[in-house]
Homo-oligomer: A and B are copies of this chain.
Amino acid sequence: MANKAAGLGGDIEAQARAARAAALLLQAVPTARKNAALEFIAREIESGMGEILDANEKDLATARKAKASEAILDRLTLNKARVQAMAKAVREIVALPDPVGEVSGRWRRPNGLRIIRQRVPIGVIAFIYEARPNVTVDAAALCLKAGNAVILKGGSEAINSNRVLASRIAQGLAAGELPGAAVQFLDTTDRAAVPVLVKLDRWVDLVIPRGGEEFIQFIKAEATVPVLGHGKGLCHVYVDRAADLKMAENVVFNAKVSRPGVCNAMETLLVHTDVVREFLPKAAERLGKAGVELRGDEKARAIVPSMKAATGDDWDEEYLALVLSVKVVATVEEAIEHINRHSSRLSESIISSDRRAVKKFMDQVDSAVLYHNASTRFTDGGEFGFGAEIGISNARLHARGPMGLKELTTHKYLVYGDGQVRE
């Protein structure tokens, strides 16, 4: 099955064409049949436990030899519990409502035409992701549930694990009598595969890349297929003069410390000048104890002199680590302006009991998700109640914020007449 470098482009195009044919068949498959196939996939994963763990052991051995970081090894590692969790995740997707067929509008025109706007699958989705084998299963199950075919290109370090998982998924599809071509696995570690894949706009309808910002930018520059990026997250928390300072401290601590390596973690703290003397020393102490390095502007350092000095670059940096930049602002307007200039437009929070300031913040900050008195860490499909998510979009079109099943659909118009022609 491995693609030879010479024929790589042709092989990938053949797979994309097969995916497109499968997508046409999938679009009208009833929910019960999709769910039955997903249940078969869950069972195939459970019964494939030994084979999956063996393949994963190969991947881990290679990664260890290549001196992969602990973080990479952790994401790559499967064990019995994690394989069981994969099967469980598929069953959770079975339990979610099917968005396909939902009517999102219905009206009649003066000439008698009846128009219905109906949710339909997007078609063929190319999903390009990091070396996390569980994502292979999640992505396949989400795409299938929403009636899409999917082309999976996972991180090279997981190639053996993914190959076995893809074969289990194929067996589940066969048992459920859905087209096996609906889930295509690019069985290659050749980096040249990605630029080929993202240019197949004849067969592929959407590319969802996950990874660092540079990688997303590379995909956008190469792609002719539309891209929904799961990109940079540079989130802010603004502690207003009218904040409950104990609440503010808890939210700030949570937004920075609970999981610093993710896109919904806070990177910059903005504090109103009227409360900075009371708020910042305590907050800085608590953050410092948790190992957070603080980088403040002049006004912040005047109050907490132990802070490092922030440079201009700090306001634009997604640390993804226990580092936090801190700026003192004179007004909510200044906070809004700073955020709109430096944010990745994903998630920001205001802590305040001043309704006017809150309304201004919610109206004028131009980000996907705005929080009042809550942590930015809730930007997540599960936390939003969408069930499993395929990613978080900081694109502005089609999907903005957490992407669940609905975001894997589009719509078509059905127009019923009795012979109408246009003047």
> How long is the Cα–Cα vector from A130 to B36 in the complex, in angstroms?
51
Question: Is A369 a contact of B412 with CB atoms below 8 Å?
Answer: yes
Binary interface encoding of chain A residues 366-398 relative to chain B, with 1 for a CB under 8 A from any of its CBs, else 0: 111111111101100001110000000001111
Question: Is B221 a contact of A397 with CB atoms below 8 Å?
Answer: no
Interface residues of A in 33-85 (CB under 8 A from B): none
A290 within 8 A of B: no
Interface residues of A in 143-171 (CB under 8 A from B): none
A194 within 8 A of B: no
Question: Is B109 a contact of A418 with CB atoms below 8 Å?
Answer: no
A205 within 8 A of B: yes
Question: Is A422 a contact of B109 with CB atoms below 8 Å?
Answer: no
Nearest residue (CB) in B for A253 is B421
> Of the candidates B228, B372, B400, B415, which one forms a contact with A417 in the assembled complex, judged by CB atoms under 8 Å apart?
B372
A304 within 8 A of B: no
Question: Is B385 a contact of A412 with CB atoms below 8 Å?
Answer: no
A321 within 8 A of B: no
Main SS class of interface, A: mixed
> How long is the Cα–Cα vector from A367 to B24 in the complex, in angstroms?
11
List of B residues within 8 angstroms of A340 by Cβ: 24
- Least CB distance, A341 to chain B, in whole angstroms: 9
Interface residues of A in 86-128 (CB under 8 A from B): 107, 109, 113, 115, 120, 122-123
List of B residues within 8 angstroms of A363 by Cβ: 27-28
Whether A421 contacts B375 in the complex (CB less than 8 A), given A226-B397, A366-B123, comes out as: yes
22 sampled A-B residue pairs with Cβ under 8 A: A28-B363, A107-B385, A115-B385, A205-B396, A206-B397, A221-B224, A226-B396, A244-B419, A250-B419, A251-B419, A253-B421, A258-B423, A368-B413, A370-B414, A371-B415, A374-B418, A374-B420, A378-B422, A396-B410, A397-B410, A400-B411, A401-B412
